[in-house]
Structure 1
């Protein structure tokens, strides 16, 4: 944020000037003491404010982390105030004082904060981090005591309590730094910068504390100014850590991560140093030397045994993991590893728009090998097939055996390079396999599914399913080539909704249709249906006059289903009302969002014709428009003409009430039924949508052209807007314009678009003034 950058620049400049002043030692002693003490109080207050602001901005465990850092800074600020009172106000320099209690709160609170960070591991690891920090702190306490402080105490240079307080500073700092280093390599990437700044800040604080211990124990204050500079710099880095904390971090722990050798062995290093310090300290005492040497040797042997056990456990875990993730026969990845790699590839696909391809292979007539030569021969054949496939793959590809004679290859990146791998795999089966003295020529049925870079809605499970479907399509056709998945390969609902048809074969089991019906009910209940939007264009100036909302079903196994693949189930099983409500709500919500962006767009929504006998429909439509804050003129209700059956009296009343409120009414697919002229006479509508069957034939069929022209002339006489569906070429658009048709939609102008793509189109071609009520 720019403001944070300006604040950081100003504070850095001020601290730099403060440090230069400290090193220069200008002014009288009283002035130096006053400026230094007051400066640290102000700096501590600033850092406390930054940490408190970070805690306020965060949430969940991240907030708790920064609350603890803030608590530490509150203690440090209190210590600074107490120290200023003693040194500046009262003119004394005592040690220790109650200020030390405040100062020591900072490393303790920071250690607690580090242990609370979501580091992607289990609760056991947090306990281990605390123990590692404690081990390091105790080891350095022992080193410091035997090398410096114990001789100093023996010489009477300081009291035991003073030495304990002095030693508490570097010991706690080193414990905090140990925990920080272990945490740093395991946190989320977005946490690296603030945590690294916090670690650097605490490192400088540790250096300053060591200078403080040295000065107070030896009564030598010539280096105090360097410690003050380190304190000021450390506090500045802690402030920067707070200011750079990311509010978008995931509050939950990541998956388990492997413990690195550095994490494993770091706590043992100070133990070895502590033993060395003890050996040097007590080796001169003859009566202790044998026992001391034996004790040190015993500890070394225990540590060596620990290293060996840990190494064996790690190798065992690696072996177990390999067995859990590989196929025991071929050594290829198994289903679990392949699914994990595929899931990771799809994450990169959505993040980096990277193409992902899955090749599914199944050996034709493999059962004959097992039956004729036995299962051992079949196993040897599978091993050879695995070696051939693996030999054609790149190092970045994943080759897996999912079971039996089914293999899959996962390929990421350039689709052309993936195609080369696929062709190499298929060519590898041109040579016969040599098994038990027999030359066996087996070829695979191969199916390919590709998640294109722009297909952000694809899922790992669906992609693998599509590859399997393509492979089975190839197997049914006995094709030697590669079969690439297309939506037509998936089983679709048939015309009556009582079953579904598969490629090249009729599926007669009606249980599948009932399963699909149950899934459709669940999708409606979970509001899992989505909308695509096809724009409508003015034939005279090519401006966008509105959009038509088209329902889609993202089926988890069958892919994206269009309305022709499931609406018959809706009609046959009484699901029209919930579908109407879902589509209307989603469409109006989308129009309201676009209106908030400054784009007022009319929307047309298809309503099942039997719903027009529901006298509560107009009030419900008006309520939804009111909820979204939209004028009624922005909505057009489309009714399919060949379904206008049933209670005409109620239909008239519902249409009239809709139009009285300002909602436009259109007859969709006009010309596809047999009662069109009577509907025009009996029903008051605003718009006719010419059926695409007439529109697509208008150039080649003279009779179709005459009917279209007559309908357009009739609509003009009745004051109705005409919309042509299915316009796919310029010649058709020009002819319709000459006939007097006002609006067109079709692939010449745009296919149905996702909401994001529709928004981009609207922004590039804003609707003309007044166009929002003409659709």
Structure 2
């Protein structure tokens, strides 16, 4: 999977570069077409303007001086001037400078033309002629079908007609009104050919320049893309690898561990996680300097790597702490053999710059599925086991729950937790439990929270194990029970028919005064016993099976509802489970979360639901994180569910609104008392 992702990324980046090349090429092509059109039009317009200027020069220099003012006043050109005009025209025509010339007066009457048959004809409606008589020079291609150009049809080829105004200055030396107009016919083919050739050259230069520009820009972008890919690859390496040793860091370890757990769920094998703490590194740093310490850390990483399989992972977590991931191992014993081998390897001295350094390592081991079903939990358990090994002065320890009090952070919380309980600084948040068939909220589970002044809102896993191992669990449990009972009574008084569930630890369950004190607490809160549900784990019950049976029977006699929490993770036999006076089984969230992707977990969920039916018990699924999980549980016939997809834990005052919103969303009947 890692290889597939690595291959997919360069392909995606290459595709992006190709898309850039194609899109930018199309844009350059469109730009070239647009600019080519504009340039061609400009060249053509300039050629026409030059032709107009040529015609104007001919009119002013070759023809105009041969005319007099009287020719326009009398409406006819004098015979002697006509002869001179005819001679000048013959010369111009012979040189193909012009093809034809017409001279009009202001009425549009032809005063002179190289074709005598045109003299005396009138063309008053020609717009170009009218423009010239208005003082504006204009030009147009001849229209063979027009009456004016009928006589030009025999001249061959298309002609360019240029109209030039004749002012009085032309005839009499006074620059005043326009008295007439020249119409000069020029060969169009030379004009068009010249304009086309010029336009072609410009367009080719433009296209070539744009292609070169595009190629240069593409190369620049490609080079920048390569540098960015290389930089991104380096950053990805840095983000997932330790800078000192080159080993995977915590991020890459978590990714590989998740993949290993997925494989283990499918194959039914174990995955082990080791936390190794290097001994005497501080002594090396203090005596030889941090340079030697860094070299030692690098050497340790290399040696650990050399003792493992190719599929195993060694990661540096920081400082003198390493992690070792062992996927698909055959149980804890096989992982212990690897741990012992690593301990032995660490006892061999390291040769660092000709200095022999002796060190060692303390290891903690946690295994899936025995100690945890996700990476975070396994890391926590392995860390706890490592601290327990240090405390016992042993090289390796395998995690068990009795070690939870050994974590340094939790030990530091001990004194603060006692004060928090005494000063009522703990709070309870409540997560709804919803009937899957009706969509009605039937109850809530109380989850204790600690708003720590330094660490913020702490979840129960951060301090409940500490309380269980230090005797604080008893006052903590009664504090939670009091808050939950009072909150539930307020909700019921407000019209919400809800029950509240609270977890009960081993110490609390085996407390001799539990039933009597609970009866007093319910009476004090004004809450009926049937509104309280106590959740007990399989492990709690199995701590003292016979004593647990007696206490549970007394609680059942009191009217309190009972449920087995985290079912599937303990060791209670079916025969013993059948003897327990409980109402409900709660499927552990780890199975529910993984049920859509793991056939093993799905089988556990399905069999638990079927077992509950056969025993006449209700069944609640914890850890519903998606709608697909909710729908699948409904198909399997599960009674109720809770999880973050439905609603997360909320303070007591927020529960009524939360319940109403959730029931509207699910279409359930309102929970009324």
Q: Which of these two proteins has the greater Rg computed from alpha carbons?
A: 2
Fold shared per TM-score above 0.5: no
Bigger helix fraction: 1
- State the TM bucket, normalised to the shorter chain: 0.3 to 0.5
Give the TM-score, by structure 2 length: 0.42
